[in-house]
């Protein structure tokens, strides 16, 4: 007769272990500082310093590499028990702040090509609209999860491998005593032969606007579809396709990320009402501090070293992601609150 | 409204199933309102009560032994349960089933093992067993409701939102009992219903329903309302805060 305890037998899975571990860190920090903060939209209580520390660590990377860091922060937040839609939406706010801070620091060093950024942002906004439409279309045919997962894997894997490969080669050359210029070899490729050329003074470029607009639109499209700022794709695209010099590439990329993420924050707030301003603010405070240190640290590293590190980071995330897709999950079941406007076919 | 409906259902079932016994329950909840402020990190609720002779029966004392079950039920929410399957070589959420208006919180406190207090049939009929909850709601989507319902209850139990505590009700004397439930830090907000059942010889002798609410106060409530009622303004406010914080950081840490 007594059958319910058996049915309740707790199946401990890795995810739960990780959550317990985070909870343990959380409670350890709690004993240390006793500063819990209740997040009104996430409806959960989290340690303030834990949040700010996490924001700070990711902000450091964002300042160092000129990427938003959303692709690292979102999974971390979900791990700590914050509902996924709230994590995704609130991180857009944090990325907006971190990229503002980073962009400001590059602006003072004349590290932004505003002319180029303007083209990228305008095309990016158009691309974002396309991304939102593709999102709805894919959801309607029930293939959204598959497309998002595969795209993540392909982009992270491809970008990571390409960057790491190029950067390691460059590092080896330097070690071999070859003096390499800051500009990449083969400054002109087929892209530079396209019509409608525009002069970008700060970047010392005279290229067609077509590839610039195409890159901007593609990043906007992917950003809206995959929920990422796209910095980790934009930086290599600007370097390898357009040959934008290293001293303005990160600052310019940050401006694009800032614009796209600011727009996403508003869209998330309106569509899903899942932006937790308190959560975003705690992450921001940590993030802007981290981003300043990251931007300063970036000056002590050479371009190829930075690219090698970012390539490695992106590749690691890709591997982690591939792992979760390919390895049989310990618990195939999961549950979540049905969000506003969300429905199940 | 949902809470009212639940209340009505509870009262109706009470009318149908509860025999007019010689006992009645007098019960109290320690807090009618659990306020959530920025430092909220969970709270312990105490429910206590006394078993008294029914006024109509003319008795002056009650005769045991008694068993008490307290069912604490949170506000209803729509939940989706997903199952991953292998598709084109990768593991993806392919099947999903939505459960409409399922309790967001469901804890059963009892003075003994449930199976020793009453029969499974009676417990199921009264909606006391957590595993019967998914069967009581409307489902939508692909997937077997039986399997997905069982898994949903398991997942909610692992998250600490559902559960059965056979030692959750203590008798302080023959007729005075108390029950304690720990509301976790991520307790759902809204109206809660605490149903107290008095069992005697495996039958329901009496039943009481008590309501309490968990709600945000002050700044937390202000933020929550803004996000719901003025989403555009809230979104722009978030961006302004973000840009200002970012800029301030840049100025403060100028080097």
What would the pLDDT profile of B155-166 be if each residue is shown by its tens digit? 999 988 999 999
Interval A44-102: pLDDT, tens: 888 888 888 898 888 888 778 767 677 788 878 877 878 877 888 888 888 888 888 87
Portion 199-228 of A in contact with B at CB < 8 A: none
What was the ipTM of the complex prediction? 0.76
**pLDDT attached to residue B193:** 93
> SS3 of A77, please?
helix
Cα separation values, A135 from B40, B235, B252, Å: 37, 21, 40
Q: Is the pLDDT of residue A310 over 90?
A: no
CA distance B101 to A294: 47
- Binning pLDDT at 50, 70 and 90, where does residue A191 land? low
Average pLDDT over residues A180-197: 60
Q: Is A84 on the interface with B (CB under 8 A)?
A: no
Lowest-confidence pick of A301-305, A329-333, A341-345: A341-345
Cα separation values, A297 from A52, A63, A99, A102, A234, Å: 20, 9, 16, 12, 21
What's the domain range around A48? 16-325
**pLDDT attached to residue A11:** 40
Could you give the number of structural domains in chain A?
1
Cα separation values, B129 from A4, B4, B18, B41, B121, Å: 9, 21, 18, 28, 10
Domain boundaries, chain B: 2-216, 217-255
Spatial contact of B219 and B38, defined as CB atoms under 8 Å apart: yes
CA distance B170 to B173: 9
CA distance B12 to A337: 29
The count of C-alpha atoms lying within 13 angstroms of the C-alpha of B66, restricted to the half-sphere facing its C-beta, is 31
Q: Is the pLDDT of residue A30 over 80?
A: no
CA distance A30 to A22: 12
Which residue has better confidence, A136 or B102?
Answer: B102
Portion 249-268 of A in contact with B at CB < 8 A: 262, 265-268
Q: Is the pLDDT of residue A184 over 60?
A: no
Spatial contact of B198 and B206, defined as CB atoms under 8 Å apart: yes
Q: Is A18 on the interface with B (CB under 8 A)?
A: no
Q: Is A334 on the interface with B (CB under 8 A)?
A: yes
CB neighbours of residue B211 within 10 Å: 14
**pLDDT attached to residue B22:** 76
Interval A199-252: pLDDT, tens: 787 777 778 888 889 999 998 888 777 767 777 788 888 888 888 887 788 888
Enumerate the residues of chain B whose CB falls inside 8 A of the CB of residue A145: 92-94
Examine residue A336 and state whether it is found in any structural domain, yes or no. no
Enumerate the residues of chain A whose CB falls inside 8 A of the CB of residue B114: 4
Angle, in degrees to the nearest 10, between helices A303-326 and A144-175? 150
> SS3 of A6, please?
helix
Is A100 in Cβ contact with B250 (below 8 Å)? yes
* Cβ burial, residue A179 (10 Å; 0-12/13-18/19+): exposed
Q: pTM for the complete prediction?
A: 0.74
| DSSP result, A153-167 | HHHHHHHHHHHHHHH
- Binning pLDDT at 50, 70 and 90, where does residue A2 land? very low
CB neighbours of residue B190 within 10 Å: 16
Q: Which is the CATH superfamily of the domain at B2-216?
A: Macroglobulin (MG2) domain (2.60.40.1930)
Examine residue A2 and state whether it is found in any structural domain, yes or no. no
Q: Is A149 on the interface with B (CB under 8 A)?
A: yes
Lowest-confidence pick of A105-119, A135-149, B206-220: A135-149
Strands A197-200 and A205-208: antiparallel
Alpha helices in chain A (DSSP H): 4-7, 14-33, 48-65, 70-79, 84-108, 114-141, 144-175, 209-226, 231-240, 246-271, 277-298, 303-326
Is A269 in Cβ contact with B227 (below 8 Å)? yes
For chain B, which residues score pLDDT lower than 70?
1-21, 58, 254-255
CA distance B89 to B80: 24
């Amino acid at each position: 007769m007594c059958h319910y305890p058996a049915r309740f037998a707790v199946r401990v899975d890795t995810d739960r272990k990780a959550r317990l571990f985070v909870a343990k860190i959380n409670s350890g920090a709690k004993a240390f500082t006793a500063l819990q903060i209740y997040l009104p939209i996430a409806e959960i209580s989290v340690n303030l310093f834990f949040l700010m520390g996490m924001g700070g660590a990711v902000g450091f990377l964002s300042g160092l590499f000129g990427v938003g860091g959303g692709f690292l922060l979102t999974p971390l937040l979900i791990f700590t028990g914050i509902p996924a839609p709230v994590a995704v939406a609130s991180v857009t706010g944090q990325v907006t702040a971190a990229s503002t801070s980073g962009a400001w620091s590059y602006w003072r060093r004349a590290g932004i090509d505003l002319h180029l950024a303007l083209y990228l942002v305008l095309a990016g906004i158009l691309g974002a609209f396309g991304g939102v439409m593709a999102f709805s279309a894919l959801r309607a045919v029930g293939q959204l999860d598959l497309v998002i997962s595969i795209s993540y894997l392909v982009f992270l894997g491809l970008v990571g491998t390409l960057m790491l490969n190029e950067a390691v080669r460059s590092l080896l050359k330097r070690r071999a005593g070859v003096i390499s210029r800051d500009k990449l070899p083969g400054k002109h490729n087929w892209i530079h032969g396209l019509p409608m050329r525009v002069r970008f003074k700060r970047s010392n470029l005279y290229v067609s606007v077509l590839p610039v607009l195409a890159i901007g639109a593609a990043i906007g499209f992917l950003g809206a579809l995959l929920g990422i700022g796209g910095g980790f794709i934009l930086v290599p695209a600007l370097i390898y396709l357009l040959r934008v010099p290293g001293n303005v590439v990160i600052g310019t990329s940050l401006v694009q990320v800032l614009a796209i993420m600011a727009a996403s924050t508003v869209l998330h707030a309106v569509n899903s009402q899942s932006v937790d301003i308190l959560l975003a603010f705690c992450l921001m405070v940590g993030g802007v501090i981290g981003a300043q240190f990251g931007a300063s640290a970036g000056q002590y590293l050479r371009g190829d070293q930075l690219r090698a590190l970012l390539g490695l980071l992106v590749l690691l995330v890709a591997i982690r992601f591939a792992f979760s897709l390919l390895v049989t999950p310990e618990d195939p079941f999961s549950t979540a609150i049905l969000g506003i406007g969300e429905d199940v076919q | 409204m949902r809470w009212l409906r639940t209340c009505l259902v509870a009262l109706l079932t009470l009318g149908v199933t509860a025999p007019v016994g010689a006992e009645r329950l007098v019960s109290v909840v320690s807090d009618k309102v659990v306020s959530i402020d920025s430092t909220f990190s969970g709270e312990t609720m105490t429910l206590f009560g006394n078993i008294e002779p029914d006024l109509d029966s003319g008795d002056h004392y009650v005769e045991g032994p008694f068993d008490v079950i307290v069912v604490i039920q949170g506000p209803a929410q729509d939940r989706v349960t997903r199952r991953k399957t292998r598709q084109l070589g990768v593991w993806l959420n392919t099947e999903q089933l939505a459960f409409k208006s399922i309790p967001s919180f469901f804890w059963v406190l009892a003075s003994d093992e449930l199976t020793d207090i009453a029969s499974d049939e009676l417990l199921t009929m009264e909606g006391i067993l957590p595993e019967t909850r998914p069967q009581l709601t409307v489902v939508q989507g692909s997937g077997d409701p039986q399997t997905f319902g069982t898994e949903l209850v398991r997942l909610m139990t692992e998250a600490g939102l559902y559960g059965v505590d056979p030692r959750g009700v203590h008798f302080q004397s023959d007729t005075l009992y108390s029950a304690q439930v720990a509301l976790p830090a991520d307790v759902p907000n809204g109206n809660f219903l605490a149903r107290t059942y008095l069992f005697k010889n495996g039958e329901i002798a009496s039943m009481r329903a008590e309501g309490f609410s968990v709600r945000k106060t002050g700044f937390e409530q202000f933020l929550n309302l803004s996000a719901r009622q003025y989403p555009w303004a809230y979104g722009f406010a978030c961006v302004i805060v973000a840009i200002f914080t970012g800029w301030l950081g840049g100025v403060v840490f100028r080097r």
